[in-house]
Amino acid sequence: MYLADEAWPDLQSYFASESLALVPLGSTEQHGPALPESTDHVIAESLAREAARRTGYLCTPTVNIGVSPHHRQFPGTMWVSSDAFRSYVESFTRNLTYHGIDRVIYVNAHGGNVEELREVGRTLHGEDVCYAIEWMWDESIPDLVTDLFSQPGPHGGPKETSMLMHLTDLVHEDRLEDARDGGCVDIESDTTLTHHGARTFFDARENSENGVFGDQTDASAAKGERLFEAACEQLCELCDWLAARDPADLRPAQRV
């Protein structure tokens, strides 16, 4: 069920029987020369909408702009501050609880949102408002990602490229070699990222001239379909697990 497509009497019926909502969140930011700036929010919305279709749970509209100042040097990247993002997500999550939702899954596809979403969840849980958890699609299927790609890249790599090949026709496949050759293929082997135990970089462009990592030429729509199906299955199982929890089990622990 997609919230924005429903009339209020139908949503009233949902809230009378269910208390879980899926909230997709992504970004609008550079993903190198071959991928659209919509990459993250396309992935998040596609997974959330499909999981909602398969399970019957509620999916809200997508948050398309996230915490992306570390990609600001590339044209078109949009971002909001961490404070603004946390405040916005917390506010609309409290709105959902007004209608009876007491458990929320933030279906996330942007690494820059992770810390902020977990902080919002911690705040809402600590105040006993609701149980809101962050879920990142590629972190739900790490073994498959490792099996499919030797250099998946943390950003704009073949895993995201494959997902976009499966979901859209927006990938510039004639630019995949340029994306690989102009970026950073193996960030794990980069010895300039830390010094004496301190992380010494802030922005993507400091590590990658074109803003992406990994070997984009290793992507395919077939691999994207495998990633999508596996991640969607994990999300559906998470929905069912969370929906089955007794409300008492989701409340904050008592003081010692």
Residue range 87-128, pLDDT digits in tens: 999 999 999 999 999 999 999 999 999 999 999 999 999 999
CA-CA-CA-CA dihedral for 233, 239, 241, 243, to nearest 10: -160
Please give the class, per CATH, of domain 3-250.
alpha beta
Pairing of strands 198-199, 131-136: unpaired
CB 55 within 8 A of CB 240: yes
pLDDT at residue 76 greater than cutoff 90: yes
Question: What's the rounded mean pLDDT across residues 39-62?
Answer: 98
Q: The tokens 């809230």 sit on which residue? A: 15
State the pLDDT at residue 70.
Answer: 96
Length of the chain, in residues: 256
Which residue type does 206 have?
E
Model confidence band, residue 67 (pLDDT cutoffs 50, 70, 90): very high
pLDDT at residue 23 greater than cutoff 90: yes
67 vs 108: CA distance, rounded Å: 12
State the pLDDT at residue 199.
Answer: 84
State the pLDDT at residue 15.
Answer: 97
pLDDT at residue 191 greater than cutoff 80: no
14 phi, psi to nearest 5 deg? -65, -50
Average pLDDT along the chain: 96
State the pLDDT at residue 193.
Answer: 84
Segments making up each domain of the chain, as ranges: 3-250
State the pLDDT at residue 202.
Answer: 87
Model confidence band, residue 228 (pLDDT cutoffs 50, 70, 90): very high
- Assign residue 131 a region: left if phi > 0, alpha if psi is -120 to 50, beta otherwise? beta
State the pLDDT at residue 252.
Answer: 94
State the pLDDT at residue 189.
Answer: 77
> What is the value of pTM for the model shown?
0.96
Model confidence band, residue 247 (pLDDT cutoffs 50, 70, 90): very high
Write out pLDDT tens, residues 144-186. Answer: 999 999 999 999 999 999 999 999 999 999 999 999 999 999 9
